[in-house]
Structure formats: C-alpha cells, structure tokens
Structure 1
Amino acid sequence: MPRPVTVTYKVWSSPAEVALASARLLAARVEQAVATRGIARIAISGGSTPQATFKLLADPSQPFLTTVPWDKLQLFWVDERCVAPDHPESNYGVCRDLLLSKVPIPEANVFRMEGELDPEQAASRYESLLRNTMKLEGAESPVFDLVALGMGPDGHTASLFPNTAGLDELNRLVIANHVPQKDTWRISLTWPVINQATEVAFEIEGPSKTDILAEVLTGPRDPERLPSQLIRPSNGKLLFLLDEAAAAKLPKASEVFTTPDGSNKVGTLEI
C-alpha cells in the first residue's frame, strides 16, 4: 500500500490569484531555506501555467525582485522538452525570457537540462549534475526545498505521461522518457526524486483540469493512467494551489484562510 498523504488544496477565484500565491510560495521557501542553511534549491516545471508566476517574480511593481535572495537560489528543472534552449518550446528558454533575464540570479546558479543533446545523454548528464551539486553518494536522492509541478489534462505531471516506461523507474534520478502519444522524447526527474522534496506543490488552473483533478484525488488508484497519483511526498504532505474552475468537483473547501487579497478557501483530503 502507498504511504498515506494529507492533501491540502487552497482555492482562489482566478488564475491570476493562483499565480500570485505560487510566486509567494516560491519566495517564502527560498527565504526560509536561505535563513536555515544559507542556500535554497528549487525545481520548477514548464508548460503554460507557471508563466504568469515567472512574470510576477520579475515584475518591478511586486516585492520579489528585492526580497528574494536571488544570489542564494539554485534553480533546477523538473523536466524539459528535447529541443535547443532557444526553441520556443524549451522550458528553460521560456523561464529565461520571462524571469532569469530580469532578476539578479547568478548564471552559475541556474542548472538547465540540456534538451538539445541525445535524450539518454542529457538525462545522464543531469543526474551527474545533481549528484555533484548536492554531493550525493550511492543511492541518495536530492532533497529540493520546493518542487513546483503542473498537471496535464491527461493526468501527467513532470514528463511522466500515462503508460510510459518512466513510470516504472525507481532507481534513477533523471530519465529520458519516450512519449508515444506525442511522438517525442522528454527528460524528467523521476517520481521518487520528486517525493523526497521538503515541499511539493501543484499549481492547476482552468476548466480543462476539473475532471482529471477530481479523478486523481478522489478516484480509484490507477497511476499507469494517472501518473500524478504517483506524487506522494515522503513527509506525508502535498499542496495544491487551484482556481475555482479546477477545484469545482473536489469536496467543498470550507475552512477560510486570509491572504492580502481577501478570504479564500482551503480543504484537505487523505489519499
């Protein structure tokens, strides 16, 4: 049986509010980690959802440019498409254009996946990078302060797609995963690595995710079809940042939490 996990889902009225909550979460985790041990290690995802968060983190009208200790942040990627860094579909390239080029993070602190290489070579090189940067030995897994995830309308997360070989990998840190349904290869952290993070947070928005999110959290366990169900952090806690559309079919969140923008809802599930 999988380990029990408490899911906390926080619900805002709009995607813009979710993006701001995501930016605040990232900033807070960086600040906490730096205060504790002088460095923060964050792994971010690609796709369209985090782009609004990147823009907020780089926005001069927001506090993040000056409050986040950018020089103490080490930034990693959860996954990458097998394209060059200047390709419009590159997860790194999008983040570089929207965030990295606008904030004072040292270039040496940015650890991209090399999507332009042979997929297996890129995965092997990124695994070596993780081991060397985090001084890992043997079967040790990296422990990120935050892993930020999204979820596709097919239930995939990272580049762990339904019914792909990468779902069965337990020993590697990084894999090249062939995705037949997209006729492509992807590079991805493995789900055991994601589950070792100090905090794992999904950011999910929109009506296209309503049904699949409810199925992932409240439906039968079927991780081959719904890979997001593999994300069960070892600390027993999992966070979802949602808009009302994405959360529409979850049990109604009743507890009120207060943000600078007003009162919102929070609910919990045991999975």
Structure 2
Amino acid sequence: MAYASRSRTRRRARNAVHVAQVDERVAPAGDPDRNLTHLRESLLEHAPLRPEQIHPMPVESPDLEAACKQYAQTLQAIAGSPPVLDLVHLGLGPDGHTASLVPGDPVLDVNDADVAVSGLYQGRRRMTLTYPILNRARRVLWLVTGSEKSGMLARLCAGDASIPAGRVRGDHALVMADRAAAGRLDNNSKAEVA
C-alpha cells in the first residue's frame, strides 16, 4: 500500500510517497513468514525511497494493542486524520480473506480502529488494517492469481459481502487477475485478465 501526494516534480513526488503495510504476521524481523521480508526483497530494495518513507507494522512489540495504536498514529501522520490512503494493494485468499481479515475472526467487526490484531490464522496472529481505513482509500488494486481463487474472485466481483474481501468497497477498485483466477468470471465482469 502506498500513499502519495501530488507534486510538480518527480523528485518531490518521490519524496511524498510512503509505503505502509496492509497486514503482517507476528514474527521476528527477517522471518520468512513476514510480509515485510518479501516486500523488501521484491520491491523496496529496488525503490528510490528513504527509510523514513517505509512504515513497517510494529509486530515485534510485546504490547500488540499499543502497537496498533502507534501504527494508526503513523498512518495519520502520513495520510491525514482520519487517514485516507491513495492506493491500497490487496490480494485475495482462496477462503475469501484479504489483508488478515479472515472468515470468522472477530477483527472483521472492528469499526472503531484503523489497525487491529487478528486471532490465530495459519499458526500466527497478525496485525491488519481494518475495513474503515480500507474503505476510505482513494483506490484499491486487487491482484489475484491462481485457479484456487476463481470462485472467490467471482464472488468478490459480484459484491458478495458474505466473504471478508467482499466488504471492501468496490466502487474505487481495479481487479487484475490471471486467466486461472478469472476462470469463473462472466463476460460482464470488469476485472482485468492478464
């Protein structure tokens, strides 16, 4: 997820970009389970951003509730109060989850905070952005790959709010999917197929 303000020059525009996380597993720094580990290797090591423009979720904190509040303050500092992110990049799980908003988790019902901690999912607790901040975003980019997600992608594109991903506003979203994931979409769908 990135926040960028408009600027007249490339340099100023680049300096206005901030990268924050949508969700993160509670795991030690550098752990291969961490989203940040993969984000650094695939993108951040190659991006012309300064360290102060990258905002990792503080999942190593011994007090995760306080860490959520701290991260919410970080988001306010870079994206206003309440924070409005310019772009949120989301994926879609085969169970319909997105971020760490998974079926049946109490975090799905958090409406009074922008950042919260989930219960255990696949062996780890996670810090995640909640629906209020996701739904304030100016744009949402969904990237969906794999045939195991085709049913959930069809439900997402149909606006099915019974799956966690379906509760993210769709009126400001672009879905990019590979052919395998898009296999169950009808011809009226507005998803981009790669």
TM-score, normalised to structure 1, is 0.63
> What is residue 53 of structure 2 aligned with on the other side?
109
Moved over 6 A (4+): none
Residue from 177, 200, 206 that aligns with 2:118: 177
Partner of 2:73: 128
Residue in 1 aligned with 2:43?
99
Match of 2:32 in 1: 88
Alignment correspondent of 2:131? 191
**Does 1:200 find its partner at 2:152?**
no
Residue 44 of structure 1 is matched in structure 2 by none
Does the 8 Å CA contact 2:79/2:85 hold for their aligned counterparts? no
Distance 1:210 1:188 in 2: 24
Letter in 2 for 1:186: R
Q: Partner amino acid for 1:178?
A: G
Secondary structure in 1 aligned to 2:24? strand
Structure-2 residue corresponding to 1:247: 182
CA separation of 1:219 and 1:91: change in aligned 2, threshold 3 A: closer
1:218 has 2:163 as partner: no
Q: What is the TM-score normalised by the length of structure 2? A: 0.86
Q: Would the aligned equivalents of 2:144 and 2:175 in 1 still touch at CA under 8 Å?
A: yes
Q: Name the structure 1 match of 2:172.
A: 237
Contact in 2 for aligned 1:82/1:117 (Cα 8 Å):
no
* Native 8 Å contact 1:122 1:187 kept in 2: no
Count residues in correspondence: 190
Greater relative CO, 1 or 2 (CA 8 Å, sep 6+): 1
Q: Aligned runs of 1:32-111 on 2, under 5 Å?
A: 33-35=5-7, 69-111=13-55
SS at match of 1:75: strand
TM-fit CA distance, 1:127: 1.2
Residue of structure 2 equivalent to 1:264: none
Identify unmatched segments of 5+ residues in structure 1.
Answer: 1-25, 39-65, 254-266
By percentage of residues, which structure has more strand? 1
Q: How far apart, CA to CA, are the structure 2 residues paired with 1:186 and 1:205?
A: 22
Matched, 1:157 2:129: no
Question: Helix, strand or coil for the counterpart of 2:125?
Answer: strand
Report matched runs for 1:136-155 at 5 Å.
136=81, 141-155=82-96
Compute the RMSD of aligned alpha carbons: 2.7
**Does the CA-based 8 Å contact 1:80-1:113 persist in structure 2?**
yes
Offset at residue 176 of structure 1 (A): 0.8
Task: Give 3-state SS (helix, strand or coil) of 2:153's partner.
Answer: helix
Unaligned runs of 5+ in 2: none
Q: Report what 1:54 is aligned to.
A: none
Distance, in Å, in 2 between the alignment partners of 1:72 and 1:237 is: 22
Contact between 1:123 and 1:175, CA under 8 Å: does it hold in 2?
yes
Identity %: 30
Rg bigger for which structure? 1
Residues 218-249 of structure 1: CA distance to partner in whole angstroms, max 9, x if unpaired? 38542xxx10011015xx33210111111111
The separation in 2 between residues aligned to 1:126 and 1:144, in whole angstroms, is 14
Q: 1:155–1:227: 8 Å Cα contact kept in structure 2?
A: yes
Contact kept? 2:90, 2:143, Cα under 8 Å: yes
Taking a change above 3 Å as real, the CA distance of residues 207 and 148 of structure 1, as seen in their structure-2 partners, is same
